[in-house]
Amino acid sequence: MTDVPVALITVTGVRRITPQMTRMTFAGEGLEDFPTWPDQQLKLCFPRPGQSAPRLPAVEADGDVMRWYQAFLAIPEEERPWMRSYTVRSYDPERHRITIDFVLHGASSSAADEETGPATRWASTATVGDTLARYGPAAIYAKPLPLDSADWLLLAGDETALPAIGSLVESLPRGSRAVACIEVANAAEEQPLTSPADLTVHWVHRDDTTAARGGGALLNAVREASFPSGSVFAWLAGEAGAVRELRRHLVEERGIGKRQIDFSGYWRRRLTQDDAPTEEDLAEAQERVAAAEEEARARSPQRPG
């Protein structure tokens, strides 16, 4: 059995770092000895209207994850917290605080057609003392970048991928090389990124780019980019449809092997994490499982025949 990594966390600081992104620090149980790694994912539980804190089931003594999650789903829908995936931007081991960045979808006219979800509504008005719950992270899901398999690293994503990209480039070793292509609404959404590596950042503005050739701004930017020489490992994240198009371009047009690409659809246009998966979502999940199995087979020692 695995202990259920669930606990309440309380806002200790709020700072708007761009017009459409706010940075919050949290304190809470279990943060005294908090394992950390780049691109560290966890799930946040947001309270329903009228709740001062999200309603959670009790953690059983045996720490059974599946039993806890079944009890979570058994909470009546009108009382059950909304659960959304986020990235830990940083951890302060001295003050025992985690930092999480929230994209405020719909905060500008360029995103006005997007529905404002419960996470954005909460983050838009959150103040010190407000309470969420965290589910995770679990070290079993830590996946280091295979830097020894490539000469340079490509990172591509939209603003939802920025916290992960920020933590990844900060962890790169000196002497390594990385190129980041990041799509944001406009120049006001750009953030400073620091890295010990030789890092080149290309900011892509949706306001300045048309959907020429059937693709979005980020896809067009990657298509037109001149890649450094040598082999590449690509890390892709953001809107699921855009990620699929990026991966298809890298495999079919750039000739990059599928095992040299890590990809994740963080969100779906016009759909939320509460909606049922589409056929494309299921196909993506199957591809990710197949890729993981292939990688595991490649790394396992071969038995003599």
Domains of the chain plus CATH, in order, are: 6-140 (2.40.30.10), 145-298 (3.40.50.80)
pLDDT of 233? 97
83-90: average pLDDT: 96
pLDDT of 303? 47
- Separation CA 111–CA 94 (nearest Å): 38
Strands across the sheet containing 232-239: 198-205, 177-184, 152-158, 232-239, 261-267
Task: Determine how many CB atoms are found less than 10 A away from the CB of residue 191.
Answer: 18
More confident residue, 1 or 251: 251
CB of 163 within 8 A of CB of 266? no
- Separation CA 218–CA 203 (nearest Å): 9
Q: Model-level pTM?
A: 0.84
Angle at 273 between CA 237 and CA 38, to 5 degrees: 35
Q: What is the pLDDT of residues 43-52, one digit of tens each?
A: 999 999 999 9
Q: What is the pLDDT of residues 117-162, one digit of tens each?
A: 899 999 999 999 999 999 999 888 888 899 888 999 999 999 999 9
* Residue in the structure block whose two tokens are 């855009």: 242
Task: Determine how many CB atoms are found less than 10 A away from the CB of residue 245.
Answer: 19
pLDDT of 275? 44
pLDDT of 115? 57
pLDDT of 283? 55
18, pLDDT greater than 80: yes
Average pLDDT, the chain: 85
Band of the pLDDT at 113, cuts 50, 70, 90? very low
269-296: average pLDDT: 54
